[in-house]
Chains A and B, each alone.
Chain A
C-alpha cells in the first residue's frame, strides 16, 4: 500500500441553500478542491461521491455520474462511484478513494460529499433519516432517529448521573466555534439556557441537542505521497483509515452507551498510523446529537467511560482545551448535509494542520482525527491525518 496525501480541499457554505441544486453545490466544492490542488481536470483518474439519499431528497439516483458530467469530467470518461453508509457516507467515500490510491489503481482521485435536504419538508426529512435505522423493528414501532439517541441520553443520565446542563456544553461550544467559521450554517454563539429551554424533540433531547437539516458539499483531492509535493508545499498525510460495523438496530447492541463500531474503527486507524490517542490535538467528532459527542469522546479514548459529559462541561474540548473538538462548529453548528459531513470534517482538519484555520486555529496542531457515524452507530469511520 502506498502513502496517500490530501493535496486539495474545497467546500460550500452549509445551510438552507434554496438557490442551489445538488449538482451545483457538488461542483462548487469539487472545483474549489481542484483549484486548491492546482491540478487540471484531465489529471483526475476517478471520482467518489458520498451521498445518503438523493433518491428520496430530490428523486435523483445515479448522482456520481451526474456530478462527473456537470464537473466536465466526462470528456475522459473517468469512473464515478457513489458511496452510501447513511450519516457516514462522506467518510466512506473518503476511505474508498483513499484505498483506490493506496492500492496503486489510481493516482489523482477527487472525493466529494453532497446532500440537498431542504427541497423536501421537515416531516419527509424525519422519515428519510429514519431509513438509516432498522425500518422493520424500530421505525414501524414509532422510533425516530432522535428518539433512539434520546434513549442513549436517558440511560447515560441514569447510569452516570449526567445532567442536561452538562450535555448543553456541547452545542454551546460548537456554536462558539462556528461563529469563527465563515462556511458554517449558524455563525452565532448561544447560551446554555437557549439549549435547555428549547422545544423538546424527544425528551431529554431538545431542538438544540440535535444537528440541523442542511444543504452543502465538500471535496478533497487525493494523490500518492511520492508526487504530492509536486502539487503542494503542505500535503496532509492520511496516516490511518479505520472502519467498523455493528447491528443496525440500537436494541441489539452489546451496550447502547458504547458505540463498538467507533471503538474498533479508532483501534484500526491508530494501529495503521502507529499512533496513540494522546498524539491527537484536534478532532472532528460526529455530534449529530449532544449525547453522540459525549459517547465519541469516551469511545475514542479521550476520557474514560462515564466521564465524557463532565469532561465536556469543564471546557476541556474547547479550542484551547486538552483536546480541541469540532473547531468547525461540528454537525450541530457548521451544519449537517448528511453525505457531505464526513468530507467536511476532513476539510476542517486539513485547514487546522496547514495552519489556515484563522480565528479557530489550534496552536501547533500536527495530528488530527475525523469520526463519522451512520445511523445509531451501525457504521463508524475514523481517519487520522497528519502534517507530512
Chain B
C-alpha cells in the first residue's frame, strides 16, 4: 500500500518516536498533531517536538493468526498497545519473545525493525517494534 513519499514523510516519528508536547497544558501526543485537542486555539504554535524515551509497558495485546497478506510470513505475531513512560499509547508488534509469554504490564522498549516492503522487490519500510526489557540488567 502507498507510495515512497507516503512512508518517507513519516520517518522521523517511525524511526525516532518523535511526538509533540503541548506547552500550554503539558500533554504529550504521538504521532505529532498540529493542534492540542484539549487547548485548541491556545495551543497554536506551542506544539513542540519531543522524542519519546522508547520505554513502556504492555497495556493490552493479541496474537494475530489471521493477518494482512503483507504480514503473512510473520504470523502468528504479537500485536500490542504499549503505554509509554510519557503517558501516550502506541500500537506495534512485540518481538524477541514467545507469544505465550507476553503479559499485560510487561516492560518493553522500542527497537527499529523492518515493517514491510513495496511489493516483492520494492523499497523497504522501517519503524519501531517493541521487545521485552530484562529487569536484571
Binding site for B on A (CB under 8 A): 123, 126-127, 130, 135-144, 146-148, 150-152, 154-155, 158, 199-205, 249-252, 256
Report the separation of the CA atoms of residues A236 and B10 in the bound assembly, to the nearest whole angstrom: 50
From the candidates A123, A154, A201, A250, name the one contacting B68 in the complex (CB within 8 A). Answer: A123
**Majority-rule SS of B interface residues:** strand
Contact between chains at A143 and B66 (CB < 8 Å): no
Q: 6 closest Cβ contacts across the A-B interface? A: A150-B62, A251-B89, A151-B60, A155-B60, A203-B63, A141-B92
Report the separation of the CA atoms of residues A143 and B89 in the bound assembly, to the nearest whole angstrom: 14
Q: In the complex, which residues of chain A have a beta carbon less than 8 angstroms from the beta carbon of B116?
A: 140
Q: In the complex, which residues of chain A have a beta carbon less than 8 angstroms from the beta carbon of B127?
A: 140-141
Q: In the complex, which residues of chain B have a beta carbon less than 8 angstroms from the beta carbon of A252?
A: 89
Report the separation of the CA atoms of residues A242 and B15 in the bound assembly, to the nearest whole angstrom: 41
Q: In the complex, which residues of chain B have a beta carbon less than 8 angstroms from the beta carbon of A130?
A: 68
Contact between chains at B31 and A136 (CB < 8 Å): yes
Given the interface pairs A126-B68, A127-B69, A155-B104, the reply to whether A147 lies near B92 with Cβ below 8 Å is no
Contact between chains at B93 and A141 (CB < 8 Å): yes
Report the separation of the CA atoms of residues A200 and B63 in the bound assembly, to the nearest whole angstrom: 9
Contact between chains at A142 and B77 (CB < 8 Å): yes
Contact between chains at B66 and A154 (CB < 8 Å): no
Q: Can you list 8 contacts pairing A with B, beta carbon distance less than 8 Å? A: A126-B67, A140-B125, A146-B66, A151-B79, A151-B80, A152-B60, A155-B60, A251-B81
Report the separation of the CA atoms of residues A158 and B59 in the bound assembly, to the nearest whole angstrom: 10
Contact between chains at A137 and B64 (CB < 8 Å): no
Given the interface pairs A123-B69, A142-B74, A146-B66, the reply to whether A158 lies near B79 with Cβ below 8 Å is no
Contact between chains at B61 and A144 (CB < 8 Å): no
Contact between chains at B59 and A155 (CB < 8 Å): yes
Contact between chains at B79 and A142 (CB < 8 Å): yes
Q: In the complex, which residues of chain A have a beta carbon less than 8 angstroms from the beta carbon of B69?
A: 123, 126-127
- A126-B68, A137-B90, A139-B1 are known; give 15 further A-B pairs, CB within 8 A: A130-B68, A136-B10, A137-B31, A140-B116, A142-B71, A142-B77, A144-B66, A144-B68, A151-B62, A154-B104, A200-B65, A203-B62, A203-B65, A249-B91, A251-B91
In the assembled complex, how far is the CB of residue A39 from the closest CB belonging to chain B, in whole angstroms?
A: 44
Contact between chains at B65 and A199 (CB < 8 Å): yes
Is residue B111 contacting chain A, with contact meaning CB distance below 8 A? no
Q: In the complex, which residues of chain A have a beta carbon less than 8 angstroms from the beta carbon of B89?
A: 251-252
Is residue B50 contacting chain A, with contact meaning CB distance below 8 A? no
Closest to A150 in B: B62
Segment 38-90 of B: residues with Cβ below 8 Å from A? 59-69, 71, 74, 77, 79-81, 88-90
